[in-house]
Amino acid sequence: MTVSNLKQSRPDTAKPKINWSRVEEADNFAKTVKLFRQGKYDEASFRRFRLQHGAYGTRMTGDYAMVRIKIPAGEIYPNQLEKISQLSEQFSIGSAHFSTRENIQLHWVVLEDVSEIFRGLAEVGLTSREACGNTIRNVMCSPLSGVCPDEEFDSTPYALATARFFLRNPMVQNLPRKFKFNFTCCEKHGMVRMVDVGLIPQTREVDGNTQRGFKIFLGGGLGNKSFVGYQLEEFTPEEDLVYTSMAVLRIFDRLGDRKNMARNRMRYLVNDMGWEKFQNLVLKERAIVRATQSVITQLEVVHTPNEIKRPIRITDESGTSITDGYARWLKTNTVKQKQSNYRSIFITLEAGDITASQLNALADLIRDFSSEGKARFGFVQNVALRYVHEDDLPRLYSNLLESGLAKSGALTMTAPIGCSGTTSCNLALTNSHRLAKEIQRKLLELKFDEDDDLSDSSIKISGCPNSCGQHGIATIGFFGGGGRVGKDMYANYQMSLGGRSDGDTMLGLTCLRVPAKRVIPVILKIIELFKQNKKSDDTLQSWIHRVVNNNEDSEIKSINDIKKVLEPLTIPPTKEEDPDFYLDYGDDTSYHTKTGKGECAA
């Protein structure tokens, strides 16, 4: 018997409810590429067009593109994963890459093949439209929205409705710069102060009725210069969500800086104008928007509850033995839901990379184990299967093991973020991507995922000062650059400490520069310092938080004290002593910085 013969037919599986695609955009893209190649379309206009459709440039070449597929609110269905798997083998490198904003990217795609990817995506209702360029990027939602024990209500329908309202909306096709929405479930799981518009669901009692609304934060963002967002008002009722969003976008569109590409995210406008003035403008503009709509504009928020149906077991596998590593995985990769007997389980991928066959395996696992029949992308290049019945966890774990998706530590510091770096990005100075993988392997080997003191900390790495790797909000953050000894260059990282994105959001403080090949020893040294000086109930995060705020009373009192201890580790050896020091990870030729033109601001 062949494998396909043994496959049992599955019960009806969940299908996507929203079609985000337009197949005619594939034809149009193919035509435009031809015109561009024939010289009938100038470079700048073509680049704008390409980015608007979600195709980003590639390191040092005009022949390839990266296609960024948006997964609105992070909701993805099995048939969509299977299609992406197929497309990755046909047109990319046989792997796909999870971003930190609930996109999935296909790299090293021949520009002329991009339209074929659009065609494939349209078959399963997905789009990359407005995934790049000066428009509204993917609308994110917490992977725990709907199951988080601390949430007021599920914000997923609002995130989807917002994405639907603005996708292809003429009012956002040419903003001064990109614009991002993040919805979350609660303070702890969100990233609401580090984005243009961040939203936390909340409720209030009005005349004995419960009213739904949001806490809205504006003007935050990570980048070359990062800012923490401000709360607009005490409570924004749900019917004002769309008016508030429109008002903010209209102000940004009108007043945002269209000249200085390096300073034109909305956070600069808020910063230059001052919060109070900006806040006033938004509130006034909202009144105008509300009053001048010719018809009542409302979001189409679909409240039909998801069908929760535990997949039927066709075969009896009650004898599944509990494997080694199960307890470790259960502790570091799963969370209890507010719905009793169910857990959400997280899959961590090295720096967000997943193979074509793992994407197929993931689709099968969703069908076999998730009672909601779909999965959710997370904020840290990961993916969650929710509504997994607790009785099914051991079997799920052994299935994950078979597909190489059972790596532990998904919800701990051992799962670092690494942007794509020099593996494909034009702006990258270092191979941040590989470094993240190296760190993860080392920390798991040391079983740091099992250490409760380390679980609420994070490591995040960007390959350049721009913040795709979100280093600014990491407990230990790194961004890439070049170092030099005489004529010889080496990959070097600026390290910051103490960043966080929860209710106490702050940006990490600069500590010192760490050569790429010394990053792992430096991380281990910081952990050692913490263990020596911690108080009994400290976590690494709380300890570093005290140190960077100068509230620590042990021998390490400030970030400068940490720096002094680490400095000896960062002294470059000569090339004769240690030639490997002068090679970046994944490269066997001498390191030199080399970048092309960035397109974030194009």
Partner 1 sequence: MRCLTDSSKITTDIDSLRSEIRDKSVRVIDVRREDDYKQDHIPTAVNLPLATLLSDDSPENVLKLMNTMGIDSETSVVVYDDTFGALASRVAWTFEYLGHSDVTLLETTYSNWKSLELESDSKIPEIQHKEHTLNLQPNILATADYLQSAKERNDVILIDNRERLNFLEQHIPGAISLPYRTLATKDKILRPKDDMKRLLENRGITENSEIITYCGSVGTLSGLAYYALKSAGLPNTKLYVRSFKEWKNLQKPTEKQEDASYWDLSAE
- Residue 351, CB-side half-sphere exposure with 13 Å CA sphere: 21
CB 115 within 8 A of CB 27: yes
| 517 near partner 1, judged by CB under 8 A | no
CB 31 within 8 A of CB 41: no
CB neighbourhood size of 561 (10 A): 16
| 2 near partner 1, judged by CB under 8 A | yes
Q: Which residues 6+ apart lie within 8 Å of 393 measured at CB?
A: 330, 334, 343, 345
Tell me the residue type at 516.
A
Query: Which span sits near partner 1 by CB under 8 A: 94-102, 148-156, 226-234, 295-303?
Result: 94-102
Residue whose C-alpha is closest to residue 504's, from 555, 443, 546, 533: 546
CB 569 within 8 A of CB 579: no
The residue among 98 and 342 lying less far from partner 1, judged by its C-beta, is: 98
Q: How far is the CB of 449 from partner 1 (least distance, A)?
A: 20
CB 352 within 8 A of CB 273: no
Structure letter (DSSP) for residue 121: H
Q: How far is the CB of 309 from partner 1 (least distance, A)?
A: 27
Binder to partner 1 among 270, 354, 383, 529 (CB under 8 A)? 354
| 123 near partner 1, judged by CB under 8 A | no
Binder to partner 1 among 11, 62, 94, 579 (CB under 8 A)? 94
Number of residues near partner 1 (by CB under 8 A): 49
The residue among 152 and 599 lying less far from partner 1, judged by its C-beta, is: 599
| 86 near partner 1, judged by CB under 8 A | yes
The residue among 249 and 519 lying less far from partner 1, judged by its C-beta, is: 519
Dig out the tokens for 84 from the structure: 């992406």
Binder to partner 1 among 10, 11, 23, 61 (CB under 8 A)? 61
| 3 near partner 1, judged by CB under 8 A | yes
| 97 near partner 1, judged by CB under 8 A | yes
Binder to partner 1 among 144, 242, 349, 380 (CB under 8 A)? 349
CB 271 within 8 A of CB 220: no
Dig out the tokens for 357 from the structure: 């066959």
The residue among 285 and 350 lying less far from partner 1, judged by its C-beta, is: 350
| 364 near partner 1, judged by CB under 8 A | no
Q: How far is the CB of 154 from partner 1 (least distance, A)?
A: 32
The residue among 414 and 420 lying less far from partner 1, judged by its C-beta, is: 420
Query: Which span sits near partner 1 by CB under 8 A: 371-379, 383-391, 416-424, 530-538?
Result: 416-424
Q: Which residues 6+ apart lie within 8 Å of 26 measured at CB?
A: 115, 116, 118, 119, 122
Binder to partner 1 among 130, 154, 285, 350 (CB under 8 A)? 350
Instruction: Tell me how far apart the alpha carbons of residues 598 and 58 are, in angstroms, rounded to a whole number.
Output: 10
- Please list every residue from 220 through 279 that binds partner 1, using CB under 8 A: none
Binder to partner 1 among 317, 578, 580, 587 (CB under 8 A)? 587
DSSP letter string, 128-185: -TTSSSSSB-PPEE-TTTTT-TT-SS--HHHHHHHHHHHTT-GGGSS-SS-B-EEE-S
Instruction: Tell me how far apart the alpha carbons of residues 150 and 184 are, in angstroms, rounded to a whole number.
Output: 11
Please report, for the chain, how many H helices and E strands are present, in that order. Answer: 16, 21
CA distances from 138 to 73, 164, 167, 324, 550 (A): 8, 11, 9, 39, 38
Binder to partner 1 among 116, 123, 257, 450 (CB under 8 A)? 116
- Please list every residue from 272 through 331 that binds partner 1, using CB under 8 A: none
The residue among 231 and 593 lying less far from partner 1, judged by its C-beta, is: 593
| 9 near partner 1, judged by CB under 8 A | no
CB 500 within 8 A of CB 509: no
Binder to partner 1 among 18, 48, 112, 601 (CB under 8 A)? 112
The residue among 60 and 322 lying less far from partner 1, judged by its C-beta, is: 60
| 581 near partner 1, judged by CB under 8 A | no
Query: Which span sits near partner 1 by CB under 8 A: 26-34, 271-279, 289-297, 550-558?
Result: 26-34
| 433 near partner 1, judged by CB under 8 A | yes
Binder to partner 1 among 35, 60, 283, 308 (CB under 8 A)? 60
Q: How far is the CB of 574 from partner 1 (least distance, A)?
A: 25
Q: How far is the CB of 429 from partner 1 (least distance, A)?
A: 12
Q: How far is the CB of 365 from partner 1 (least distance, A)?
A: 16
Query: Which span sits near partner 1 by CB under 8 A: 90-98, 144-152, 170-178, 505-513?
Result: 90-98
Residue burial 33-60, b: 16+ Cβ < 10 Å; e: rest: beebeeeebeeeebbebbbbbbbbbbbe
Binder to partner 1 among 424, 440, 455, 470 (CB under 8 A)? 424
Residue whose C-alpha is closest to residue 187's, from 221, 231, 139: 231
| 434 near partner 1, judged by CB under 8 A | yes
The residue among 5 and 304 lying less far from partner 1, judged by its C-beta, is: 5
| 108 near partner 1, judged by CB under 8 A | yes
Instruction: Tell me how far apart the alpha carbons of residues 233 and 601 are, in angstroms, rounded to a whole number.
Output: 30
| 339 near partner 1, judged by CB under 8 A | no
User: 580 in the Ramachandran plot: left (φ > 0), alpha (ψ -120 to 50) or beta?
Assistant: alpha
Binder to partner 1 among 21, 32, 95, 533 (CB under 8 A)? 95
| 113 near partner 1, judged by CB under 8 A | yes
| 585 near partner 1, judged by CB under 8 A | yes
Of the chain, the end-to-end C-alpha distance in Å amounts to 55
Q: Which residue has tokens 């206009």? A: 45
| 4 near partner 1, judged by CB under 8 A | yes
The residue among 25 and 113 lying less far from partner 1, judged by its C-beta, is: 113
CB 88 within 8 A of CB 47: no
State the alpha helices, DSSP H only, in 340-429. 356-369, 393-402
Q: Which residue ranges make up the site for partner 1 (CB under 8 A)?
A: 1-5, 30, 33-34, 37, 58-61, 86, 89-95, 97, 107-108, 110, 112-113, 115-116, 349-350, 353-355, 358, 420-424, 431, 433-434, 437, 584-587, 594
